C-alpha cells in the first residue's frame, strides 16, 4: 500500500480543553459543560449582557463549538440539550439585535456588493492587512495568525450548513466553491490544513482550539457570526451575504498578508496559504456573486435584505476586530489576552 | 465529428473582469510559457494588471480614494 502524502505527519488529535470563564454567564455555562451541577443563566440575565463583551461572546463560542468538534471530556449529547439551547437562543437574540442595530440594512444587494468591489487606493489607516504589509512585525503576524486560527482551522465548515437550504444554481455553485476550500479531494490541500502549516511555520501550535483562550471578544464575534448564520435556516440569506463578503475581500487582503509574511521573513508554508487565497478567491468571488447570490435571489427574492445584512455585519465585525488590533499594536501592546507561546 | 461524452466547456466573459473557464486549463501565454490550473473554474486575466498573470488576482477592480476606505479583508 502506498502511504498517503500525509501519513508521516499524521498524529491523532485530541479535542481542546474547555477555556476559562470570562464572566458570570460563561462561568455557569462552562460549569454545565464540565458536568457540574448548578443553575444556568436565566433569559433575563442573558438579555442584559453586553453583546460584544467577552462573557457573552465566549458563552456563544463554547455552545457553538459543540456543533463542530466539541471539547475533551464534554458529553457529546449536550449538543442538543434543550436547556443549553435555550441559553444559546437568548444570547443569540442579544447578539443578532446588536448586529442589526449596528448596520444600515436595506435590500439593494448590488449596491452592497458594489461597495466591496471598490479597492481603496492606499492605506486608509483602518486596514489591518495594509498595516501588516507596511510595518507588521513578525510578532504581530504571529498574533494575527493565532487569533485568526479560530476561524481558519475550521475554514469553510460553518458554510456547509447552508447547502441543504439552497437549490439549483446556488447549491451547485456553493458546493463547487466549498469543494475547493476542502482541497478538491486532497487532504493536504484543505485550506484549514494549509493554515495549520502556516501556523507551524510561524512557530505556533496548530492544534485545533489551542488559541481560544488568548482570543479577544472581537475575534470570537467574527466566528460566532458564521455559526449563528450557518446554524439557522432562517438566516440562510445572511450566511450567503457573509460568505460573499469574505470571498470578495479576501484576494487583495491575502496579497498584502503574503507580502507581509515575506517581508517579515516567514517561511514558504506561511506564504503559501495567502498565495493560494489570492488566486482561489479571485475565482470564488466571481462564482459566489454570479451563481450563489444570483441563484438564491432568483429562487427567493425576499431574502435580499438578509443578504445585505450578512454583507454589512461582516464589515461591522471585521472593523471592530481591526480597530482592536491596530489600537493595541499602535499602543505597543499585545492584541491577545495572553501572548501566544511557541509550539510544543 | 466524433460524438463527445463531455458537455461543451462553459466560458463566461465578465465585463471589466476576467474570463471564467471551466477547469482544468492548460494555457500558453503570449510569452510562450505553458501554465496549468486545475481549479473547477479558472479566471483568466484580461486587464493585464494581474500580478499572477495569466490568472486574475482582482487587480482589475476600480479604485476609490483611501479616505472612504473600509476594508473587511483578512
Ligand atoms: S482581470 Fe482580474 S486582474 Fe486582470
Ligand atoms: Fe479558503
Ligand atoms: Fe475562498
Q: What percent of chain A has pLDDT over 70?
A: 95
Say yes or no for a CB contact (<8 Å) between A127 and B43: no
Specify the ligand 1 atom closest to the Cα of B14: 1
pLDDT at A122: 80
Residue A215 CB coordination number (10 Å)? 25
In the structure, what pLDDT confidence band is assigned to residue A206 with cuts at 50, 70 and 90?
very high
Q: Are residues A89 and A149 in the same domain?
A: no
Q: ipTM of the predicted structure?
A: 0.89
Q: Are residues A82 and A130 in the same domain?
A: no
- Tell me, yes or no, whether A317 lies in a domain: yes
3-state secondary structure of B22: strand
Q: What is the mean pLDDT of residues A40-59?
A: 97
In the structure, what pLDDT confidence band is assigned to residue B66 with cuts at 50, 70 and 90?
low
- Tell me, yes or no, whether A47 lies in a domain: yes
In the structure, what pLDDT confidence band is assigned to residue B68 with cuts at 50, 70 and 90?
very low
Does residue A52 carry a pLDDT above 50?
Answer: yes
Q: Are residues A128 and A75 in the same domain?
A: no
pLDDT tens figures, A67-93:
999 999 999 999 999 999 999 999 999
Domain boundaries, chain B: 9-60
Say yes or no for a CB contact (<8 Å) between B73 and A314: no
Q: What is the mean pLDDT of chain B?
A: 86
Q: Which of A55, A70, A101 is the last residue of a domain?
A: A101
pLDDT at B3: 61
Q: Which of A101, A136, A169 is the last residue of a domain?
A: A101
DSSP string covering A226-291? HHHHHH-GGGHHHHHHHHHHHHHHHHHHHHHHHHHHHHTT--HHHHHHHHHHHHHHHHHHHHIIII
Q: Report how far residue A248's alpha carbon sits from residue B72's, in angstroms, rounded to the nearest whole number.
A: 9
Q: Are residues A80 and A201 in the same domain?
A: no
Q: Is omega for the bond preceding B24 within 30 degrees of 0, making it cis?
A: yes
Q: Are residues A61 and A113 in the same domain?
A: no
Does residue A340 carry a pLDDT above 70?
Answer: no
Q: What is the mean pLDDT of residues A8-36?
A: 88
Q: Are residues A96 and A213 in the same domain?
A: no
Q: Which residue do the cell numbers 427574492 mark?
A: A301
Q: Are residues A183 and A257 in the same domain?
A: yes
Distance from CA of A80 to the nearest CA of B (A): 33
- Tell me, yes or no, whether A6 lies in a domain: no
Distance from CA of B61 to the nearest CA of A (A): 6
- Tell me, yes or no, whether A315 lies in a domain: yes
Q: What are phi and psi of B42, to 5 degrees?
A: -115, 135
Which of B40, B66, B73 lies closest to A180 in CB terms? B40
pLDDT tens figures, B18-42:
999 999 999 999 899 999 999 999 9
In the structure, what pLDDT confidence band is assigned to residue A228 with cuts at 50, 70 and 90?
very high
Q: Are residues A97 and A121 in the same domain?
A: no
**Structural domain total, chain A:** 2
Least-confidence region, from A40-54, A258-272, A313-327: A258-272
Distance A284 CA to ligand 3 centre (A): 5
Closest CA to B56 of A281, A271, A257, A179: A281
Domain of A214, in residue numbers:
109-342
Compute the C-alpha angle A179/A185/A187, nearest 5°. Answer: 110
Q: Are residues A93 and A201 in the same domain?
A: no
Q: What is the mean pLDDT of chain A?
A: 94
CA distances for B29 relative to A117, A322, A329, B32, B55, angstroms: 27, 39, 43, 5, 10
In the structure, what pLDDT confidence band is assigned to residue A6 with cuts at 50, 70 and 90?
very low
Pocket test for ligand 1, best of B58, B62, B63 (most atoms within 8 A of CB): B58
Asked if A108 is an interface residue toward chain B (Cβ–Cβ < 8 A), one would say no
Distance from CA of B34 to the nearest CA of A (A): 17
Does residue A53 carry a pLDDT above 70?
Answer: yes
B54 lines ligand 1 (CB under 6 A): no
Amino acid at each position: 500500500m502506498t502511504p498517503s502524502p500525509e501519513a508521516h505527519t499524521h498524529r491523532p488529535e485530541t479535542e481542546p480543553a474547555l477555556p476559562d470563564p470570562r464572566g458570570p454567564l460563561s462561568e455557569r455555562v462552562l460549569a454545565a459543560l464540565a458536568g457540574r451541577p448548578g443553575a444556568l443563566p436565566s433569559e433575563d440575565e442573558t438579555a442584559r449582557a453586553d453583546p460584544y463583551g467577552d462573557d457573552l461572546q465566549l458563552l456563544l463560542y463554547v455552545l457553538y463549538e459543540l456543533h463542530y468538534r466539541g471539547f475533551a471530556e464534554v458529553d457529546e449529547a449536550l449538543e442538543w440539550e434543550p436547556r443549553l439551547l435555550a441559553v444559546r437562543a437568548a444570547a443569540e437574540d442579544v447578539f443578532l439585535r446588536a448586529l442589526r442595530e449596528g448596520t444600515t440594512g436595506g435590500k439593494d444587494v448590488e449596491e452592497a456588493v458594489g461597495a466591496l468591489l471598490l479597492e481603496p487606493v492606499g492605506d486608509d489607516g483602518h486596514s489591518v492587512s495594509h498595516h501588516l504589509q507596511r510595518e507588521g512585525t513578525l510578532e504581530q503576524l504571529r498574533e494575527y495568525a493565532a487569533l485568526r486560527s479560530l476561524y481558519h482551522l475550521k475554514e469553510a465548515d460553518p458554510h456547509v450548513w447552508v447547502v441543504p437550504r439552497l437549490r439549483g444554481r446556488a447549491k451547485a455553485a456553493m458546493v463547487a466553491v466549498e469543494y475547493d476550500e476542502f482541497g478538491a479531494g486532497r487532504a493536504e490541500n484543505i485550506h484549514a490544513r494549509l493554515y495549520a502549516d502556516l501556523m507551524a511555520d510561524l512557530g505556533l501550535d496548530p492544534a485545533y482550539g489551542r488559541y481560544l483562550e488568548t482570543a479577544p471578544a472581537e475575534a470570537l464575534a467574527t466566528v460566532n457570526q458564521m455559526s449563528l448564520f450557518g446554524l439557522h435556516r432562517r438566516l440562510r440569506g445572511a450566511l450567503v451575504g457573509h460568505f460573499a463578503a469574505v470571498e470578495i475581500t479576501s484576494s487583495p487582503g491575502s496579497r498584502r498578508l503574503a507580502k507581509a509574511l515575506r517581508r517579515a521573513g516567514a517561511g514558504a508554508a506561511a506564504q503559501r496559504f495567502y498565495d493560494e487565497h489570492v488566486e482561489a478567491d479571485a475565482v470564488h468571488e466571481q462564482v459566489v456573486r454570479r451563481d450563489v447570490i444570483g441563484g438564491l435571489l432568483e429562487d427567493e427574492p425576499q431574502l435580499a435584505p438578509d443578504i445585505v445584512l450578512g454583507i454589512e455585519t461582516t464589515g461591522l465585525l471585521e472593523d471592530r476586530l481591526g480597530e482592536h488590533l491596530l489600537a493595541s499594536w499602535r499602543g505597543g501592546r499585545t492584541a491577545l489576552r495572553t501572548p501566544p507561546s511557541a509550539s510544543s | 465529428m466524433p460524438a463527445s461524452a463531455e458537455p461543451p466547456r462553459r466560458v463566461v466573459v465578465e465585463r471589466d473582469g476576467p474570463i471564467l473557464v471551466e477547469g482544468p486549463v492548460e494555457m500558453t501565454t503570449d510569452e510562450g510559457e505553458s501554465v496549468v490550473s486545475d481549479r473547477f473554474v479558472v479566471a483568466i486575466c484580461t486587464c493585464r494588471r494581474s500580478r499572477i498573470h495569466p490568472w486574475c488576482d482582482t487587480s482589475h477592480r476600480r479604485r476609490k480614494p483611501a479616505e472612504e476606505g473600509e476594508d473587511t479583508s483578512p
